[in-house]
Structure 1
Amino acid sequence: MTSGGGYGDSSQKIDYVFKVVLIGDSAVGKSQILARFARNEFSLDSKATIGVEFQTRTLVIQHKSVKAQIWDTAGQERYRAVTSAYYRGAVGAMLVYDITKRQTFDHIPRWLEELRAHADKNIVIILIGNKTDLEDQRAVPTEDATEFAQKEGLFFLETSALESTNVENAFTTVLTEIFNIVNKKNLVADDNNNGGQSGGNTNSGSSLSGKKIIIPGPAQVIPEKNRMCCST
């Protein structure tokens, strides 16, 4: 099971490094989600991200030390050509929209198309509806996002960076799924090569098996989901 690491990296041995990108329109709360996860902070006067920034946080997943390297890509149109290069090497992606702004959800298919054009085809993707603290201003029904996530084979959660709701769940869902896929791949490689491959730093999506899991329903992470999906 996943357990939270400290905010900031320690001197412990790192078993895995997973790059995850945050994408979506400007002002949907990508930087706030990252700040909440990486530093447990939230700023009401957040400035627009220029270009690309990243933060790291180390977690323990199944007794292994996993460093999450989270890249915050600017949502403004004029930076999209610049940030497309940063999809390379990402093994996870978070597609973020604002539940109070329908346009940001309507743009999600375009962001998904761009992601799939530039990132490894087996990348683990979660759709995030942010700002659930503004429920009275909701413009995107949860059912719409659930339907889209099921159709595209994405994880889905609704979050509030302000209230720290489901932010940890969103990251640990993606990171644990990546971990399970990479570990399963390594086990297969060990069987085939007499232990010729073992867990180590993973900086490209080439080792991912591309198994997709759908989380039905709003704001839920189904426990032990790997048991549900990985039988052959």
Structure 2
Amino acid sequence: MCIATSELYREEHEYMLKFLLVGDSDVGKDEIANFLGPSVSFTPNAFLILPKMTTILLEGKFVRLQLWDASGQGRFSTIIKSYSRGVQGILLVYDITNRWSFDGIRRWLTEIDEHAPGVPRILIGNRLHLEFNRAVPRREAEYFARKRNMQYFEISTLAYFNVHESITELARLVISRNGMHWLWKSFQVASLQDLCCRAIVKNILNVHAIDRLPIPSFLQLKVRSFASGADLCMSNVIKRECTTPYCNSASKYITRFVRSRNTKDHSRNANCDIM
């Protein structure tokens, strides 16, 4: 579940998705777009809006994302008329330290419902690293999103927290809602590497443990991509259990390693509490 780095960047991809970053000015939409890293490319157009291109891994598949940041372009009603064609996902962004930016989300939603009804969207509370200046309670934002059938993420580009996860979750939602996951999974026999990745995902407690696994970085990225879609239905995949000696031993080794690291971390935290 991560944005592909330059090491994994490819022009080839299974899907191309067009996302729109929406929100008041100075809520950090440009921070999110610029956070995507070295795999980002810039494509100027006549309207001087720069869509940012990057590639993510989702369940082992490369998905190309086109991110449009319409900051400073006037009313969203004008923007959505110009750029709603082909838009498949919308990220509604506000600043958790700015109450006015959160209240503005209602205005943006009104425009979205008028000009882009039915387009999947998620709500993002940006600048979580400024928690000490929070102006919008998390519970209020969660209730607001839940009432409108949106998922909610609080992120921080400065702390490298939840940015990749939120963007990947929107991609998963778009693909799932449009039925495209049936297309890529139909009559598919998973490779040995895919099976091993799924076996590892089943034996870890949370996605953050993947970064500590003693495996190459490109495999960590692939494992994370499977972790992001672990809740997707796999009934239309031709199922094969990971029964090879290599896969079994790898899964057992990974499980022992993660448990030992968790035990060490717990002991270290306990010692810190005593001190």
User: Structure 2 length normalisation: TM-score?
Assistant: 0.60
Cα 1:8/1:34, change in 2 over 3 Å:
farther
Once residues 139 and 51 of structure 1 are traced to their aligned partners in structure 2, the CA distance between those partners, rounded to angstroms, is 33
Match of 2:104 among 102, 107, 112: 107
Q: Secondary structure at the match of 1:165?
A: coil
Once residues 68 and 37 of structure 2 are traced to their aligned partners in structure 1, the CA distance between those partners, rounded to angstroms, is 11
In structure 2, stretches of 5+ residues that fail to align are 41-46, 188-226, 234-275
Amino acid at match of 1:95: L
Cα 1:25/1:109, change in 2 over 3 Å:
same
Within the alignment, does 1:142 sit opposite 2:141 as a pair? no
In structure 1, stretches of 5+ residues that fail to align are 42-49, 192-220, 228-232
C-alpha deviations, 1:137-175, integer Å up to 9, x for none?
Answer: 100000110001110000100011222211111111111
Once residues 37 and 155 of structure 2 are traced to their aligned partners in structure 1, the CA distance between those partners, rounded to angstroms, is 15
Amino acid at match of 1:224: A
Once residues 83 and 5 of structure 1 are traced to their aligned partners in structure 2, the CA distance between those partners, rounded to angstroms, is 29
Report what 1:212 is aligned to. Answer: none
Taking the TM superposition and a 5 Å limit, the aligned residue runs for 1:1-232 are 2-7=1-6, 10-39=9-38, 52-75=49-72, 78-84=74-80, 85-119=82-116, 121-181=117-177, 182-184=179-181, 186=183, 224-227=230-233
C-alpha deviations, 1:54-109, integer Å up to 9, x for none?
Answer: 10111222232210111101256x35354222122111110000000100000101
Cα 1:143/1:173, change in 2 over 3 Å:
same
Cα pair 1:74 1:80 within 8 Å, conserved: no
Equivalent residues, number? 186
From the CA coordinates, give the structure whose radius of gyration is larger: 2
Cα pair 1:51 1:73 within 8 Å, conserved: no
Identity in percent: 32
Q: Larger RCO: Structure 1 or Structure 2 (Cα < 8 Å, ≥ 6 residues apart)?
A: 1
Report what 2:203 is aligned to. Answer: none
Looking at secondary structure, tell me which structure has more helix per residue: 2
Amino acid at match of 1:146: E
Q: Secondary structure at the match of 2:35?
A: helix
Cα 1:144/1:8, change in 2 over 3 Å:
farther
Once residues 60 and 177 of structure 1 are traced to their aligned partners in structure 2, the CA distance between those partners, rounded to angstroms, is 14
Cα pair 1:59 1:67 within 8 Å, conserved: yes
Amino acid at match of 1:31: D
Q: Secondary structure at the match of 2:31?
A: helix
